[in-house]
Chain A
Amino acid sequence: MKKPEMKKLLESIAVPVLAVLIALLISGFIILAIGKNPIKAYGVLLHGAFGSKQAIIDTLIKTTPLILTGLAVGFGFRAGVFNIGAEGQMAMGALIAATFASNFGGLPPAVAIPLTMLIGMGAGAGWAAIAGFLKAKTGAHEVVTTIMLNWITTYVASFMVTGPLATGYGTPKSPEIAQSAQLPILMRAGAIELSAGILISIAAAVFMYVFLNKTTTGYEIKAVGFNPYAAEYGGISVAKNVVLAMAISGALAGLAGVTELMGVHHRFLGELSGGKGFDGISIALIGQNNPIGIIFAALLIGALRTGSNEMQFMGVSKYIVIIVQGIVIFLVAADRIVKAIYARKKVKA
């Protein structure tokens, strides 16, 4: 890589990296405030994320859907839409796919797996497209509509697993999906299995990169995201592209849900994903809406999530990860704060 390109790369990484460091620093103080040792806490976190083969696999398992929700939100941002609804779209994808996939016993895996994925992506795409359509037609802000759709998904999902899909006892859940619809296992460590889902995630990142940078539709979506007036003037249909962008974003989120379904749980559990959709926001922002950046950012959050489970044993709630993410999002959104710090450091250096 040439010198000026190297410099540009470093500058574009500076903001998110500094934001994460500052966030960890501030969170460290919060940990201190409740009487725990932050250095010890972060040490435990690191160990919990990477300290053993089991831990690493666990981290990768957690990272898999995060790459996809990060791509979902990041893709939306490139198109000028803020898709907070990844949570609901993910659940919809898993829910609808689970409903069908429990009946796929008779199909060979080569058919069942892609079919299940398509159903999940379609469900997520459709759910998101509602918000996209409303935005294009009426100007309704997608933040409000997608959050409302999230809440609606919660109730619908709850209804489904206590009603039509109810199985067994205890936690409400759907029936298990057919064996042929389950993803093959790549690695094992004890009881933990890493499915092929991670490969699907990375493939999706590659897809996003190619799509956005090499295709005419990618050009149009970026144009709409940067300047809808100029896009329309240039013959690009803003309405069509907003809906398309939301649909693709929703499809990626739906894929996140369905890979979790096929690779981890093998059934749909009553509650929603537990925040992976919202994680997508900080991941997209840290990754600066760039597929490569998103993969790294997803790994970071995945590591935090895995490691924080260990931290709980020393009395530090795993909610600390959400606090870290909140601070990171804040700093990336008001990135001039970080840029001002970075500029001051450069002058001193």
Chain B
Amino acid sequence: MRVLTAILSIFLNPQFYKIALTAATPLIFASLGGVFSEITGVVNIALEGIILMGAFTSVVFTYLTGNVWFGVLMAIVSGILLALLHAWGSIKWAGNQVVLGTAIILLSQGLTGFLMEPIFGQPGQTDFVGKVDEITIPGLVNVPFLGQVIGEISPFVYIAFGCVAFGWWLIYKTKLGLRMRSVGENPEAADTLGVNVFAIRYFGVIMSGVFASLAGAYLSVGEIGQFKELMSGGRGFIGLAAMIIGKWNPVGAMLASLFFGLFGAFSNQLQSLQEITVAANVKSLFDTIPFVLTIIVVAGFVGKSRPPAADGVPYEKSE
């Protein structure tokens, strides 16, 4: 009984929701990136690698210049560069997009590991270099309960929601978005109407790089102010799962990310409960929950949630 009350008390604690939001934030970015790429028909597994590179780059440039936001900006640049590489291989050379994505993940892991010593003089992880402070919103912070959740929180959270709104508007309300959707569904039809399929796909992939790198920047300079090896921690893949649940819709992906965030926060809070008297290492098994969840989601939702028809298929002009 005590265990039950303890578990329920988690949900009454505003900290729980704040943790859920911050856990969801990188996923919101990642899943939005996935949407942008796949809606134009390019599968982008490389997100995991772009997140890692974004985390690394933002720390590097914060370290070198002392300016955190410059670090974030450079993270975006790194995201664009990696995305361009993926786009180049997938679109121009019609390579296998899944394998290419894997290559980029490896490149990212390799480069970040390789550059640790030359730049920071130590492997494994960096020291604290600086982070983006939480911002306090004057009126909001005094609102009971809600104020403790979002009254004082990293600006990245607001940026994430802003990006979702932007993404939704772009995809469903502009002519660019109409073209993006057509290219992912039937590139040949779009081509015959004079739409530039390749340019639109490049755009989609590059934007996915922008958003994924923001996810990475948040993980490092947005949360803990340092870089640790492999800190992307599978979030690129969880983001893809959120994209699938969200049916390739920015708002849907955001909601799915929030769902994952809640689950992550729950397993996190569960581990620190004293009422659950099990060994610490058993509690660490709770860390597997997000991954098990992703498997269930991906297995349960595929087929019910239909990707863009031309997703993953390189477009070849018959010329």
Residues on A lying within 8 angstroms of B by beta carbon are 30, 34-35, 82, 84, 134, 137-141, 143-145, 147-149, 151-152, 155-156, 158-159, 162-163, 278, 281-282, 285, 315, 317, 319-327, 329-330, 332-337
Whether the pair A148, B106 counts as a contact (CB closer than 8 A) is: no
Given A320-B114, A326-B110, list of 5 further CB < 8 A pairs? A138-B302, A155-B288, A162-B281, A329-B106, A333-B95
A-contact 0/1 string along B89-122, CB 8 Å cutoff: 1100111101110111111111101111110000
Interface status of B166 (Cβ within 8 A of chain A) = no
Whether the pair B110, A156 counts as a contact (CB closer than 8 A) is: no
- Stretch of B1-9, B146-154, B193-201, B289-297 contacting A (4+ beta carbons < 8 Å): B289-297
Candidates A82, A315, A317, A327; contact of B98 at CB < 8 Å:
A82
Whether the pair B106, A156 counts as a contact (CB closer than 8 A) is: no
For chain B, what secondary structure do more than half of its interface residues adopt (helix, strand, loop), or is it mixed? helix
Whether the pair B288, A319 counts as a contact (CB closer than 8 A) is: no
CB proximity of A172 to chain B, nearest CB, Å: 9
Q: Which residues of A contact B298 (CB under 8 A)?
A: 134, 140-141, 144-145
* Those 3 A-B pairs whose CB atoms lie nearest each other, nearest first: A334-B95, A322-B110, A326-B107
Interface status of B218 (Cβ within 8 A of chain A) = no
Q: Which residues of B contact A282 (CB under 8 A)?
A: 106
Q: Which residues of A contact B292 (CB under 8 A)?
A: 148, 152
Distance in angstroms between the alpha carbons of A140 and B240 in the assembled complex: 12
Q: Which of B90, B94, B234, B282 has the most CB of A within 10 A?
A: B234
Distance in angstroms between the alpha carbons of A336 and B93 in the assembled complex: 6
Candidates B45, B100, B117; contact of A317 at CB < 8 Å:
B117
Distance in angstroms between the alpha carbons of A323 and B113 in the assembled complex: 10
A-contact 0/1 string along B272-297, CB 8 Å cutoff: 00000001011011011001101100
Interface status of B12 (Cβ within 8 A of chain A) = no
CB proximity of B239 to chain A, nearest CB, Å: 11
Q: Contacts A162-B281, A336-B95: A30 and B114 contacting too (C-beta < 8 A)?
A: yes
Whether the pair A143, B110 counts as a contact (CB closer than 8 A) is: no
Q: How many A-B residue pairs have CB under 8 A?
A: 144
Whether the pair A141, B302 counts as a contact (CB closer than 8 A) is: yes
Distance in angstroms between the alpha carbons of A139 and B106 in the assembled complex: 26
Q: Which residues of B contact A134 (CB under 8 A)?
A: 295, 298-299
CB proximity of A241 to chain B, nearest CB, Å: 19
Q: Which of A34, A155, A278, A320 has the most CB of B within 10 A?
A: A155
Q: Contacts A34-B118, A138-B303, A144-B241: A336 and B94 contacting too (C-beta < 8 A)?
A: yes
Interface status of B300 (Cβ within 8 A of chain A) = yes
B225-244 contacts to A, CB under 8 A, are 234, 237, 240-241
Whether the pair B107, A323 counts as a contact (CB closer than 8 A) is: yes
Whether the pair A147, B302 counts as a contact (CB closer than 8 A) is: no
Distance in angstroms between the alpha carbons of A37 and B90 in the assembled complex: 33
Candidates B105, B123, B285; contact of A155 at CB < 8 Å:
B285
Q: Which residues of A contact B102 (CB under 8 A)?
A: 82, 84, 143, 281, 329
Distance in angstroms between the alpha carbons of A322 and B109 in the assembled complex: 8
Whether the pair B95, A335 counts as a contact (CB closer than 8 A) is: yes
Q: Which residues of A contact B294 (CB under 8 A)?
A: 144, 148
A-contact 0/1 string along B113-137, CB 8 Å cutoff: 1111110000100000000000000
Whether the pair B99, A82 counts as a contact (CB closer than 8 A) is: yes
CB proximity of B38 to chain A, nearest CB, Å: 12
Q: Which of B89, B109, B114 has the most CB of A within 10 A?
A: B114
Whether the pair B234, A148 counts as a contact (CB closer than 8 A) is: yes
Q: Which residues of B contact A324 (CB under 8 A)?
A: 110
Distance in angstroms between the alpha carbons of A282 and B100 in the assembled complex: 11
Distance in angstroms between the alpha carbons of A11 and B14 in the assembled complex: 64
CB proximity of B237 to chain A, nearest CB, Å: 6
B111 (CB) vs chain A CBs: closest residue: A323
Whether the pair B113, A322 counts as a contact (CB closer than 8 A) is: yes
Q: Which residues of A contact B90 (CB under 8 A)?
A: 334
Distance in angstroms between the alpha carbons of A283 and B299 in the assembled complex: 29
Whether the pair A327, B117 counts as a contact (CB closer than 8 A) is: no
Distance in angstroms between the alpha carbons of A34 and B113 in the assembled complex: 13
Candidates A137, A138, A322, A337; contact of B106 at CB < 8 Å:
A322
Q: Which residues of B contact A325 (CB under 8 A)?
A: 106, 110
Whether the pair A140, B295 counts as a contact (CB closer than 8 A) is: yes
Candidates A84, A147, A317; contact of B114 at CB < 8 Å:
A317
Whether the pair A159, B284 counts as a contact (CB closer than 8 A) is: yes
Q: Contacts A152-B288, A159-B285, A320-B110: A138 and B103 contacting too (C-beta < 8 A)?
A: no
Q: Contacts A30-B114, A82-B99, A144-B237: A155 and B104 contacting too (C-beta < 8 A)?
A: no
B300 (CB) vs chain A CBs: closest residue: A138
A-B contact pairs, 21 of them (CB 8 A): A82-B99, A84-B102, A141-B298, A144-B237, A148-B294, A149-B295, A151-B288, A156-B288, A278-B106, A319-B109, A319-B111, A322-B110, A323-B106, A327-B103, A329-B99, A329-B100, A330-B104, A333-B95, A334-B93, A334-B94, A337-B89
